Amino acid sequence: MPDPADRHRRHAGTFSTLVSGTGDWDAPAPVAGWTARDVVDHLVGWLPGFLAAGADVRLPAGPSVADDPAGAWDAQVRSVQRLLDDPDSAEIPFADPHTGELPLDQAIDLFYTSDVFLHAWDLARATGQSLHLDADECAAMLAGMEPYDELMRSSGQYGPRVAVADDACVQDRLLGFIGRDPAWSAPRG
């Protein structure tokens, strides 16, 4: 299993590069009704409550996404990385009624870092930047998610599955599974 701190550093680094390359925060994103700003707002918005509820861990507040999406993202990335780089984070229990108890660093890796990995594609597409998700990670994630298809859809966190060709690459199969059209591109005005 990859080290949670290293995995976060890698995926948050990719996302940070995309944030730096974003010129239009109001550009539409592949998630219906979302903009590039909403992609960042989603990632910055849900994690603090998740950590507070599951492990009584409080992240320092950063700028608001509405005012400074890049600054809000940067503040959160730094806080999460500091937490994961602390060897004691593996000793902090995280409890959730849906997942049971696991170490905090694994909870962050499983839920948050995986979300960063997936939403990087959304931000890249919204802003016209190039991104190819790691095929091995896509395959592992898809294999881990497919047995929970019905549960995931009923959670409201994932849209309907998008059909892709039988011979589609693993990235496109994963994107289709989570409700994204792999061929989506932002409308250009």
Cα 162 from Cα 140, distance rounded (Å): 19
- For residues 65 and 139, membership in a common domain is answered with no
Tens-digit pLDDT profile for residues 24-65: 999 999 999 999 999 999 999 999 999 999 999 999 999 999
Count of structural domains within the chain: 2
pTM score: 0.94
Tens-digit pLDDT profile for residues 131-165: 999 999 999 999 999 988 888 887 777 888 999 99
- For residues 71 and 121, membership in a common domain is answered with yes
- For residues 24 and 54, membership in a common domain is answered with yes
Percentages (nearest 5) of helix, strand, coil residues in the chain: 60, 5, 35
- For residues 124 and 139, membership in a common domain is answered with no
Which residue among 114, 131, 148 closes a domain?
131
Cα 66 from Cα 166, distance rounded (Å): 40
- For residues 78 and 104, membership in a common domain is answered with yes
Q: The domain containing residue 19 runs over which residues? A: 4-131
Cα 19 from Cα 13, distance rounded (Å): 10
Which of left, alpha, beta for 43 (phi over 0: left; psi -120 to 50: alpha)?
A: alpha
- For residues 123 and 139, membership in a common domain is answered with no
Tens-digit pLDDT profile for residues 98-131: 778 999 999 999 999 999 999 999 999 999 999 9
